[in-house]
Amino acid sequence: MSDRFDPGDLIVLNQYGFFITPHYEGAVGIIVSKPYSLVTPISSENETFYIVYDVLLNGELFKMIPEEFMEAYSKYEKDTK
């Protein structure tokens, strides 16, 4: 299982994350769960596997957000020096 994020990590939604909710563009979220797996059927022969997390964004809990829909917030921090 991936360990890309840990509980307590700060994230922002990327362009795919806006499919979930376009109202949180630029909002910083916090990972509130360990990663867990989700398998979704696409068709009778195919399944898709996701590593997902529960995320708190602006006081609202979003469950089962794929890690591909998030980026680490540190990537957006500006150097103030």
pLDDT, tens digit, for every residue of 23-63?
A: 777 789 999 999 998 887 666 676 678 899 999 998 999 99
Asked whether residue 50 is assigned to any structural domain, the reply reads: yes
CA-to-CA dists, residue 30 to 20, 24, 47, 55, 80, angstroms: 16, 13, 28, 6, 22
Asked whether residue 2 is assigned to any structural domain, the reply reads: no
Asked whether residue 60 is assigned to any structural domain, the reply reads: yes
Asked whether residue 81 is assigned to any structural domain, the reply reads: no
* CA–CA separation, 14 and 79 (whole Å): 21
Q: What confidence score (pLDDT) does residue 25 get?
A: 78
Q: What confidence score (pLDDT) does residue 46 get?
A: 67
Asked whether residue 56 is assigned to any structural domain, the reply reads: yes
Asked whether residue 64 is assigned to any structural domain, the reply reads: yes
How many structural domains does the chain have? 1
Asked whether residue 5 is assigned to any structural domain, the reply reads: no
Query: Which structural domain range is residue 57 located in?
Result: 10-76
